[in-house]
Amino acid sequence: MDCVPPTSCGCYHEGRYWQSGQQFWDGEECQSLCSCNGVTGVVSCVPHSCGPDEACRVVDGQFGCHPNPHGTCSASGDPHYLTFDGKTYDFQGTCRYVLAEVCNSSSGLHQFSVEAKNEPWNGLPHVFAVNFVQKC
């Protein structure tokens, strides 16, 4: 058996061995980001959470915060929009516009485009609603 310098020793955290300097997520919902100090053998954790476009899950054998594989956007009301990244917008224009589409063919996503058009609602000149949607 070979000896290793103390700085190369790892840490044990909840029964699992981690290499010196290794970072890992802890908690079922990635509530903490932890790291192993090989000199002291101590694991230190700080509160953390996944970003708004991430989910705590296993991808390719690695547990942690990973980008969401899908997203949702919406248009509703007088028209109010919620984008894939969670931002909100209000747009009452009456032109035809692209509501959502894939902008990078190398992203691995299925190609799609959704067009929409707002029109006055119920004859009211200052109230608009999405009245036309076309999947291209």
Where exactly are the structural domains of the chain? 6-67, 74-135
Sign of CA dihedral 100, 102, 108, 109: positive
Sign of CA dihedral 10, 39, 41, 22: negative
Please give the pLDDT value at position 24.
Answer: 94
**φ, ψ at 122 (rounded to 5°):** 55, 30
Sign of CA dihedral 13, 18, 19, 21: negative
Is pLDDT at 63 greater than 80 in this prediction? yes
Give the number of other CB atoms < 10 A from CB of residue 11.
Answer: 21
Is pLDDT at 107 greater than 60 in this prediction? no
